[in-house]
Structure 1
Amino acid sequence: MATSWQLSGSYFENCNCDVVCPCLVSTNAQLTSKPTQGVCDVALVFHIDKGNFGDVRLDGLNVAMVAHTPGPMAQGNWTAAAYIDERADERQTEALGAIFTGAAGGPMAAFAPMISTNLGAKKVPIKYQIDGKKRSAEIAGVMHMAVEPLPTMREDGEMSMATGHPVNPDWLALAVGVEGSTFRDHGMSWDNSRRNGHYAPISWSGQH
């Protein structure tokens, strides 16, 4: 029998492209534009406010994913790694793995075919914070990432686009990485300070 799942919460990402990421403004849905630095180094971090995978509760847990691509993201050949909240028990870890690898369907299934080198997942403490319109996450000794809204003349201090991004196709804020947004692990190291960022609420569901 299929297991139904759903979750809601928030996410942000920070990549090494200049603002705004060319992947979002491609003229061909099958082939995104080349990253502004030639390659893409990106971290995506997720916080689940409320969620369940069948009878397994996922409330309050965090997940992070990092990826390197040697060219346009849609061409694949990603090298990717994941980090799962150390507070997750065995059943929660299995559920998060199914959702965030795309094995259980849902938005992350769009990324799965792009990954050619999977570096696996680590259980780590992940600190996720929302401070007004700023989002930040920290994995001690590995990653410190934070984004804030791209400067705008809008009264609400926020610019957004309906880009079709799998994480939230209808609403994605344009943001920029704050100083000190760095990652170092798996032989990869990057500094995405003042580089492209996004954030959005998430509301996903699927069956596995």
Structure 2
Amino acid sequence: MAYVDWKIRTKQIGTCSCDYGCPCEFNARPTRLPCEGVMAMEITEGYFDKIRLDGLRIAGVYRWPGPVHEGKGIWWSIIDKVATDEQAEALFTIFGGKEQEPTTGFSIYASTIETEPEPLRATIGFEWDLQGRRGRFVVEDVLAAEIEPILNPVTGKPHLSAIRLHEGFEFREAEMASATFWSKGALEQNHAKRYAAISYVTYGPFGIVPEESHPRRSA
């Protein structure tokens, strides 16, 4: 199938209500139900056909009653307020998996979603420090997440770790961190010291672009 030519290079932070490591990454069941969380990403460079997407941000709030692959999920999209209508439509097309192979990331997630509240256009604050295993993102009165290193329970020092997936569709490698986050409204949630993944990933119509998707990190 022929797809629209597009590519986005992203800095991203994903969180969920699971313990550190997230069983989904190992084809195991969630550590608690429902499975829920918040995420945000910044497109450092990107395009959809002739539409430039550089610098735009998106965020999401989500919940699945069971493991993600069992479906019946809810996904609430938040699009950068500064995006034009044309840019916003391009983002909805990309993240809705409409111009991507069915067996790749955005298409896979889209297939698990049953309910989508009306998208929100808002200012998305976003900070990302891959080497420091830190970050934060916020949409005023809607959601917020604070990311910090996982701490060794004995020494109190940062416990540095990463997940590397040979065939991951969300990321191929991500730094693990600790997330404290909340959201309001229909998907209200509040979690402390849960799973967080910080990653640098490039996507296109056929999924992850591997050579451009390795975290820039140091020990």
Instruction: Give CA-to-partner distance per residue, 1:71-122, whole Å, 9 cap, x none.
Output: 1111111011100001000110011111111112152111011001121311
Q: Is the 8 A contact 1:147 1:198 kept in 2?
A: no
CA distance in 2, matches of 1:165, 1:17: 18
Out of 104, 112, 115, the residue aligned to residue 110 of structure 2 is: 112
**Does residue 137 of structure 1 match 2:137?**
yes
Letter in 1 for 2:117: L
Corresponding residue for residue 75 of structure 2: 80
Q: Is the 8 A contact 1:14 1:192 kept in 2?
A: no
Q: Is the 8 A contact 1:9 1:201 kept in 2?
A: yes
Q: After TM superposition, where is structure 1 displaced by more than 6 Å over at least 4 residues in a row?
A: none
Q: Is the 8 A contact 1:80 1:118 kept in 2?
A: yes
CA distance in 2, matches of 1:2, 1:101: 14
How far the C-alpha of 1:24 sits from its partner, in A, is 1.7
* Root mean square deviation, CA, Å: 2.1
CA distance in 2, matches of 1:133, 1:173: 7
How far the C-alpha of 1:174 sits from its partner, in A, is 1.5
Corresponding residue for residue 161 of structure 2: 159
Corresponding residue for residue 203 of structure 1: 202
Q: 3-state SS of the aligned residue for 1:111?
A: helix
Corresponding residue for residue 86 of structure 2: 91
Out of 165, 174, 177, the residue aligned to residue 175 of structure 1 is: 177
How far the C-alpha of 1:5 sits from its partner, in A, is 0.4
How far the C-alpha of 1:148 sits from its partner, in A, is 2.4
Corresponding residue for residue 37 of structure 2: 42
How far the C-alpha of 1:23 sits from its partner, in A, is 1.2
Q: 3-state SS of the aligned residue for 2:184?
A: strand
Gaps of 5+ in 2: 207-219
Q: 3-state SS of the aligned residue for 2:116?
A: strand
Corresponding residue for residue 188 of structure 2: 189
How far the C-alpha of 1:59 sits from its partner, in A, is 0.7
How many residue pairs align between the two structures? Answer: 196
Q: Between the two proteins, what is the percent identity of the paired residues?
A: 23
Letter in 1 for 2:196: G
Instruction: Give CA-to-partner distance per residue, 1:137-185, whole Å, 9 cap, x none.
Output: 11000011122232369x99631112344221x202211114xx21112
Query: What TM-score comes out, normalization by structure 1 length?
Result: 0.86
**Does residue 61 of structure 1 match 2:56?**
yes
Query: What TM-score comes out, normalization by structure 2 length?
Result: 0.82
Q: Is the 8 A contact 1:149 1:159 kept in 2?
A: no
Corresponding residue for residue 147 of structure 1: 147
CA distance in 1, matches of 2:196, 2:26: 14
